[in-house]
Amino acid sequence: MTSFLRSLRMVAWSFLGIRKSSESQEETASVNPLHIAGAGLLGVAVFVIGLILLVNWVLGK
C-alpha cells in the first residue's frame, strides 16, 4: 500500500510539473510500474470530473 501511495504522490507532482530530477529518479526506481499507471488513470479521472463539475458550476446548471 505504501508503494501505491508513493505512486499517487509521484503522479500528483507530475501533474503540477514540480519535481526535482534526483527525487524523481530515486522514486521511479522503487515503485511498481502498474501502481504508476493506476495512479495516473485515477489522477486523470479526478481531473476530468473536477473540470466537468467546475464547468457546470460556472454555467449554473
57/15 Cα distance (integer angstroms)? 23
To the question of pTM greater than 0.85 for the whole model, the response is no
pLDDT one-digit tens code per residue, 18-33: 766 666 667 667 778 8
Q: Are 38 and 13 contacting, i.e. CB atoms less than 8 angstroms apart?
A: no
**What pLDDT score was predicted for residue 10?**
81
Angle at 29 between CA 28 and CA 32, to 5 degrees: 75
DSSP string, 2-37: HHHHHHHHHHHHHHHT---HHHHHHHHHHS-HHHHH
- How many CA atoms lie less than 13 Å away from 16 in the CB half-sphere? 8
